[in-house]
Structure 1
């Protein structure tokens, strides 16, 4: 084997050449000293080594040092932050709400695409100015200094009150990384926003500005916890068109339709108070506007889903007395459904949203649902099964009678274990090995299908959870299904993430599963809702979008 070591110092180069002469390993060596110009290195190599040039391999330099990366970014960032903090060498001034914020064009343009266009495009008058006045809302003006400081430091303080104006500024000036931070914060604190009177504002802003992930999470929270949201002061900020979109949904979780009606009445009262307080309108103008709101939102309350007794009680409602013609017409539709008067029902079905009026939501009243709680959940053995039996009415309409369906609910929160068994077939006996499913399963069986042979129902599984210390309905799984003599069982597999529900004591850093509730966070709480679907029910609902 042949190798070369090259030692260079100044203009001198030394080549130590080892050449294998025979298989016994004897070798000859020679030293070559020369004074050489740097430009003639290539020629020297060819002349000195001659025929050996292709056989030799250059070795590493003897004085090579390891390269080490040094991270001093924190010091550099501190220097950049100091430019803003001490107002050094600023070349532009932003004025917001009468307050001046000296800044640097380079930093503004590097962070914000809007500032980049505004300050670098000669077609914009601002590009020629050294002082620019920006118009912001009072909430945005209050945190504008922190917003600009983020450009220099990458740090900003966020809570449930500040995140909305920060996101509004990040959207306006297209600061994409800050938008991402705000959206992530909001997704992680939906429940906190609800109990601190921010959930409706978050929903409407994110839905309008296209932050659909946050909007979807806010929408779900409101739909599944409408009674909680209706108790907040933010509830009155619902825009009519957004509330209408909500009322059109089939998966609203509420005790019964009468309770939802009460929530809508509360919203109408808040609107009337606002109109009386904030507008110079006359009493006649306010009454006309209120009548328009009543018709707009109450048209989506499903009066046929109220019982005849509840419909009768509405006659005594102050709202019914004020808008008697409208409410009597809606109650007549409900009574026609319960009494089997098909003519009026068919007339309503011909309207755009007629079928929705005869479609049940996810009602948690005892008539349609049952609560299943698994206490001391962490101590539950693997593959444990919890069973519950309950009954629900087989029809929505009173004229169909009081026949009830009996349901058997089996919950497998820690996996399913199928033991080994033997199957006897005409060829002989076949051994079926044991099998384990790592899943969270809920199995629902119809014990006694109706005489008609099948029943179509809507099954909803409401899963309670905790976020920011707030217990609420965290997830809803909904499915329409036909039960019959040959199809008595409906399985919900992977109801929850197995790992997220069954956090190992040492793997979660001391944290409990977000799906365990109670004072000690050791209770798995499920609501099982089963409501019948008639031929006049709708199986779909309009999308939650602003028209």
Structure 2
């Protein structure tokens, strides 16, 4: 193959002759046939249930792996004995083939053992490639689930990128995770990591409690683990009638009620008193009183925007003023405006006289959402509304959370809203059937006031 590379030499422009694919095929043939092999890799499992013998070449192994470069000089004769776990031994031939050819095909269940081998033998490009494969395939269906297993492995291997990707996927898609077989297999450490997060996306706190109760019944953890998990539930985010039902019908809560009695008592106080009055005496900014990202209609609304690049869109929805029972009958109407080409605030004065909340659409502008209350009210005193826009996407045939954006009034505040999304391309990762699937969540946060003196 002849390619022009645009380089210059004494005779003018230069061309490149490339037969790299032919070279790779010959290297693969060299491995398969074992021609000119100078080392035998004998791969054994601890129980000797599986033994593999591979004819290899020390030059190739040393070039690709610094670990092999150290091991090969110390081999006994022509044989290098390698002891691997059964799952690693099963894919060892794939691993060696990568060292010769620089490519690999793998299935979900092969990702972890191949990552182990790449890590053990310091084949960094393969290690990084498999991490990328795993992070891109978190949503793929598998018979018994794989995200929890990948998280536990990443924690053990010290792969921070994979660990954080798995944890974020579990947190952002928790409702579907709760219904899967993976939930019951979760370790107590992972369970607590999730329970302590405020960015969990699920229908309601009651849904989380029901799943936690099932986890405790199935796993039978020691009392300290169960108590810590139950104390991470945000009981104040449940209406009083749900709390009453839990206290009378939940066997787990009945068994551990003494451990969470103070939280239940504070939750009932939270629902019965005025939040403004309660904020004078208690810290209402602790996790018990902070909502998660609830998808229930009480907290927000789904919004599907067809052909999002076409023009500005608007919608209205209502939420409860706050999670306190004192505010249960109070509603706030919100107006949401989406603009596909919104001029940045720093430039807006050049085009508008009033400046304020009206978007200015120009070529090259970026998508923005602005959310404001339809009317102001004295009831808003002491309440800060955090807005969250959840962007859905379709991966491996499944609708999952693609991104989450938090802001106070406009997505312009965080600067990166849909920054990576090319909404003009039908193949954009952010579009489902050429539509933008959003869910807006309004999270009311009560503000602690000056502590009252006795």
For the criterion TM > 0.5, the same-fold answer is yes
* 1:507-538 per-position Cα deviation (integer Å, ceiling 9, x unaligned): xxxx5222222xxx13322111112101259x
After TM superposition, list the pairs within 5 Å mapping 1:359-398 onto structure 2. 359-375=290-306, 377=307, 382=310, 384-398=311-325
Among 454, 462, 468, which residue is 2:396 paired with?
468
The answer to whether 1:170 aligns with 2:118 is yes
Q: Please give the TM-score of this superposition, normalised by the length of structure 2.
A: 0.82
SS of the counterpart of 2:241? Answer: helix
In angstroms, what is the RMSD of aligned CA positions?
Answer: 3.4
Gaps of 5+ in 1: 1-60, 121-125, 273-288, 425-432, 482-488, 504-510, 538-547
Aligned residue number for residue 48 of structure 1: none
The answer to whether 1:490 aligns with 2:410 is yes
1:196 CA drift (Å)? 6.2
The answer to whether 1:299 aligns with 2:231 is yes
Gaps of 5+ in 2: 1-9, 46-50, 355-359, 450-454
SS of the counterpart of 1:190? Answer: coil
Aligned residue number for residue 287 of structure 2: 356
Give the greater-gyration-radius structure (CA).
1
SS of the counterpart of 2:108? Answer: coil
1:171 CA drift (Å)? 0.9
Q: Conserved in 2, the CA contact under 8 Å of 1:414 and 1:498?
A: no
How far apart in 2 are the matches of 1:67 and 1:399? Answer: 79
1:83 CA drift (Å)? 2.9
How far apart in 1 are the matches of 2:208 and 2:101? Answer: 48
* 1:224-282 per-position Cα deviation (integer Å, ceiling 9, x unaligned): 1101112222333322112211111111111111111122223323424xxxxxxxxxx
SS of the counterpart of 1:161? Answer: helix
Q: Please give the TM-score of this superposition, normalised by the length of structure 1.
A: 0.69
Q: Using a 3 Å threshold, how does the CA distance of structure 1 residues 172 and 346 change in structure 2: closer, same or farther?
A: farther
After TM superposition, the structure 1 stretch with the greater mean CA deviation from structure 2, 387-396 or 140-149, is: 387-396
Count residues with an aligned counterpart: 421
Q: Using a 3 Å threshold, how does the CA distance of structure 1 residues 200 and 467 change in structure 2: closer, same or farther?
A: same
Aligned residue number for residue 3 of structure 2: none
SS of the counterpart of 1:94? Answer: strand
The answer to whether 1:269 aligns with 2:217 is yes
Q: Conserved in 2, the CA contact under 8 Å of 1:221 and 1:474?
A: no
* 1:6-41 per-position Cα deviation (integer Å, ceiling 9, x unaligned): xxxxxxxxxxxxxxxxxxxxxxxxxxxxxxxxxxxx
Aligned residue number for residue 131 of structure 1: 79
How far apart in 2 are the matches of 1:461 and 1:346? Answer: 31
How far apart in 2 are the matches of 1:72 and 1:119? Answer: 30
1:332 CA drift (Å)? 2.3
Aligned residue number for residue 444 of structure 1: 371
Aligned residue number for residue 15 of structure 1: none
How far apart in 1 are the matches of 2:71 and 2:281? Answer: 58
Aligned residue number for residue 191 of structure 2: 243
The answer to whether 1:409 aligns with 2:342 is no
Aligned residue number for residue 430 of structure 2: 515
After TM superposition, the structure 1 stretch with the greater mean CA deviation from structure 2, 458-467 or 147-156, is: 147-156
* 1:326-382 per-position Cα deviation (integer Å, ceiling 9, x unaligned): 2444322321322339999999859xxx8112111111111111111223x2xx673
The answer to whether 1:144 aligns with 2:92 is yes
How far apart in 2 are the matches of 1:522 and 1:332? Answer: 49
How far apart in 1 are the matches of 2:376 and 2:156? Answer: 46
Among 244, 249, 259, which residue is 1:326 paired with?
259
The answer to whether 1:157 aligns with 2:105 is yes
How far apart in 2 are the matches of 1:453 and 1:501? Answer: 36
The answer to whether 1:338 aligns with 2:266 is no
* 1:389-448 per-position Cα deviation (integer Å, ceiling 9, x unaligned): 122222222235633222111112355699998859xxxxxxxx9854521110111222
1:178 CA drift (Å)? 0.9
1:475 CA drift (Å)? 1.0
